[in-house]
């Protein structure tokens, strides 16, 4: 079966712009989590959606937001981009909360 698909794979944006990243989970999975990965910081939790509702949220500013659609696909949006937002953004899907998660290949965002 198809894995987790994240689009686009690479993005270059300018400071102040906004960006939308997309994640298509494995068919049948209803939980989608988003993580920011930077060198030396590991996987920083952004938020988790389950059945179109945000169930958990990390300690990121309000510029970071997300949503989940009825087909479980999820998007995250970052507004007013800062240089420090440059990172690999990973999406993980699981059948339910707290279960084995499958990660996508990520979207590498570079802010210049």
Partner 1 sequence: QQPVQSPQAVILREGEDAVINCSSSKALYSVHWYRQKHGEAPVFLMILLKGGEQKGHEKISASFNEKKQQSSLYLTASQLSYSGTYFCGTAYMNRDDKIIFGKGTRLHILP
Assigned token pair, 38 = 């930077």
Q: Which is nearer to partner 1, 10 or 14 (CB)?
A: 10
Contact segment (CB under 8 A) with partner 1 among 7-15, 19-27, 41-49, 69-77 equals 41-49
Span from 12-20, 32-40, 61-69, 71-79 in contact with partner 1 (CB under 8 A): 32-40
93 contacts 4 by C-beta, under 8 angstroms: yes
Q: What is the SS3 assignment for 22-76?
A: EEECCCCCCEEEEEEEECCCEEEEEEEEECCEEEEECCCCCCEEEEECCCCCEEE
Report the residue from 5, 65, 79, 102 that binds partner 1 according to the rule CB under 8 A. Answer: 102
Residues engaged in binding partner 1 (CB under 8 A): 4, 33, 35, 40-45, 48, 50, 55-58, 90, 92, 97-106
């Amino acid at each position: 079966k198809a894995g987790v698909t994240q689009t686009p794979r690479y993005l270059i944006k300018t400071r102040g712009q906004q960006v939308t990243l997309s994640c298509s989970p494995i068919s049948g999975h209803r939980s989608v989590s988003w993580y920011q990965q930077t060198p030396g910081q590991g996987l920083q939790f952004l938020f988790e959606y389950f059945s179109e509702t945000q169930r958990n949220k990390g300690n990121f500013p309000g510029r970071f937001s997300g949503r989940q659609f009825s087909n479980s696909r999820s998007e995250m949006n970052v507004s007013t981009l800062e240089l420090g937002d440059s990172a690999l953004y990973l999406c993980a899907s699981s059948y339910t909360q707290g279960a084995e998660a499958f990660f996508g290949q990520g979207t590498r965002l570079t802010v210049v």
